[in-house]
C-alpha cells in the first residue's frame, strides 16, 4: 500500500496560550506571544449564535474559521470532519448532574447542543455548507483517526476537506475521568492535489501492530499533556511550525500513522 498524499492549505490553532498558528511559530522561535482572549472568538458564527453556542462549538468554529480563511477556499464547498475525544464535557457534566437531581428540568437547548456533532451542525449552518459533515471520536487516538478520515475523504472524493480537532477542558466527575484540563483546537484544510495554496505536503502511511510507540511518553509537565488532542497532535504541530519532519501518530489502539511533512521550495 502506498502512502496517502495530501496537501495542507490552511491551519487553525487555539489554546489558552496561543491564539493561532502564527503564535505557535513565534513561540517555537523563542519569541514572546500574547495570550488570546479567555474564550475563542469564533467570528464565523453570527453574533446571536455566538452568544448561545456552547464552549465546544466556539473552540471548533474558531480553529475551523482560521484554517479556511488561510486556505482562501469557500467554507460552503468543503466537506468537513470534526473529531473530539470527549465532546462537550461541560454539557455532559450539566446533564448528568441535572438528570441525577431533577431530570424533568433538563434544558432542551443544552440537550440538542450535547450531540457530538454540535460543532459540525453550527459550522455548516453558519457557513451554508451542504456538503457532508461528520463527527468522530477515537479516544486518545482521536486526532490521528480524524486525520485518517479526512485524508481518505479528500482522496476518495478528490475534494478539499476541512478537518477540525478539538476538546474543551472538562469539569466535575466526568472531567476527572477524561483528565482534560485545558482546551485545545487544531484545524487543517487538506487538498488531494498541490495547488497555489499548498503550504506543506503530508505523506501518511499506516503502521499496524505498533503497540510500543503509541504508549504515551512519561509526563514532563508540558502544556500539551493536559489535552488529548494537543498531546497527540503536538509532534505534527512542531513539524508544521518547522516546515518539515516526520512523526508517528496514534490512529487506533495499536495502529500508528507515520506522517512525513515536507514544504515545497
Partner 1 sequence: MSVPIQPLAVSAYTVTSALGQGLDSHLAALSSGHGGLRENDFSSAPLACWIGRVDGVEEAELPAAHASWECRNNRLAWLGLQQDRFLEQALDARLRYGAARVALVLGTSTASIGATEEGYRHLDADGRMPAELRRPLIHAPHSLAGFVAEALGLEGPCLTVSTACSSSAKVFATAERLIRLGLADAAIVGGVDTLCDSVLFGFNALELVSPEPCRPFDQARHGISIGEAAGFALLERVDHAPHAPRLLGYGESSDAHHMSTPHPEGVGAELALRDALARAGLRAEQVDYINLHGTASLKNDEVEAALIARAFPSTTRASSTKGFTGHTLGAAGILEAVFALLAIRHNVVPGNLGCTDPDAACGPQLALQSEQRSVNVALSNSFGFGGNNACLAFGRAPA
Name the residues that contact partner 1, by CB under 8 A: 1, 4, 76, 79, 84-87, 92, 95-97, 99-100, 103-104, 106-108, 111-118, 120-122, 124-125, 127-139, 141-142, 145, 148-149, 152-153, 155-157, 173-174, 176-179, 206, 208-209, 251-255
In the complex, the smallest distance separating the C-beta of residue 172 from partner 1, rounded to whole angstroms, is 8
Residue reference for cell 465532546: 87
Among residues 177 and 194, whose Cβ is nearest to partner 1? 177
In the complex, the smallest distance separating the C-beta of residue 18 from partner 1, rounded to whole angstroms, is 25
Evaluate whether 186 touches 64 at the Cβ level (below 8 Å).
no
Among residues 16 and 79, whose Cβ is nearest to partner 1? 79
The C-alpha cell that represents 128 in the structure block: 451554508
Among residues 110 and 238, whose Cβ is nearest to partner 1? 110
d(CA 157, CA 168): 31
Among residues 15 and 142, whose Cβ is nearest to partner 1? 142
In this structure, the dihedral spanned by the alpha carbons of residues 163, 168, 174 and 179, taken in order and rounded to 10 degrees, is: 90
In the complex, the smallest distance separating the C-beta of residue 63 from partner 1, rounded to whole angstroms, is 18
In the complex, the smallest distance separating the C-beta of residue 36 from partner 1, rounded to whole angstroms, is 26
Residue reference for cell 503509541: 214
Q: Is 10 helix (H, G, I), strand (E, B) or coil?
A: strand
The C-alpha cell that represents 210 in the structure block: 505498533
Among residues 95 and 261, whose Cβ is nearest to partner 1? 95
In the complex, the smallest distance separating the C-beta of residue 68 from partner 1, rounded to whole angstroms, is 15
Enumerate residues 6+ apart whose C-beta is below 8 A from 51: none
Contacts 24+ apart (CB under 8 A), 172-180: 172/93, 172/96, 172/97, 173/93, 173/96, 174/89, 174/92, 174/93, 174/96, 175/89, 175/93, 178/85, 178/86, 178/89, 178/228, 179/226, 180/85, 180/86, 180/89, 180/226, 180/227, 180/228
Among residues 4 and 199, whose Cβ is nearest to partner 1? 4
In the complex, the smallest distance separating the C-beta of residue 57 from partner 1, rounded to whole angstroms, is 10
Amino acid at each position: 500500500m502506498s502512502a496517502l498524499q495530501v496537501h495542507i492549505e490552511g491551519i487553525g490553532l487555539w489554546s489558552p496560550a496561543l491564539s493561532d498558528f502564527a503564535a505557535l511559530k513565534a513561540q517555537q522561535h523563542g519569541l514572546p506571544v500574547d495570550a488570546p482572549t479567555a474564550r475563542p472568538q469564533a467570528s464565523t458564527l453570527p453574533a446571536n449564535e455566538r452568544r448561545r453556542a456552547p464552549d465546544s462549538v466556539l473552540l471548533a468554529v474558531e480553529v475551523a474559521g482560521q484554517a479556511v480563511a488561510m486556505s482562501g477556499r469557500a467554507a460552503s464547498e468543503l466537506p468537513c470532519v470534526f473529531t473530539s475525544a470527549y465532546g462537550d464535557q461541560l454539557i455532559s457534566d450539566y446533564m448528568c448532574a441535572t438528570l441525577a437531581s431533577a431530570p424533568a428540568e433538563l434544558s432542551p437547548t443544552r440537550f440538542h447542543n450535547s450531540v457530538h456533532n454540535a460543532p459540525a451542525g453550527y459550522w455548516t449552518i453558519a457557513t451554508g455548507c451542504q456538503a457532508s459533515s461528520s463527527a468522530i471520536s477515537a479516544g486518545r487516538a482521536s486526532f490521528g483517526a480524524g486525520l485518517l478520515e479526512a485524508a481518505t475523504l479528500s482522496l476518495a472524493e478528490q475534494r478539499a476537506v476541512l478537518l477540525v480537532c478539538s476538546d474543551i477542558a472538562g469539569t466535575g466527575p466526568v472531567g476527572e475521568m477524561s483528565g482534560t484540563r485545558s482546551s485545545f483546537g487544531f484545524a487543517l484544510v487538506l487538498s488531494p492535489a498541490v495547488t497555489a495554496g499548498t503550504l506543506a505536503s503530508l505523506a501518511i502511511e499506516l503502521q499496524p501492530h505498533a503497540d510500543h510507540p503509541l504508549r504515551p511518553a512519561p509526563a514532563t509537565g508540558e502544556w500539551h499533556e493536559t489535552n488529548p488532542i494537543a498531546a497527540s497532535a503536538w509532534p505534527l504541530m512542531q513539524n508544521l511550525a518547522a516546515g518539515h519532519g516526520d512523526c508517528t501518530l496514534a490512529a487506533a489502539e495499536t495502529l500508528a500513522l507515520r506522517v512525513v511533512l515536507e514544504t515545497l521550495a
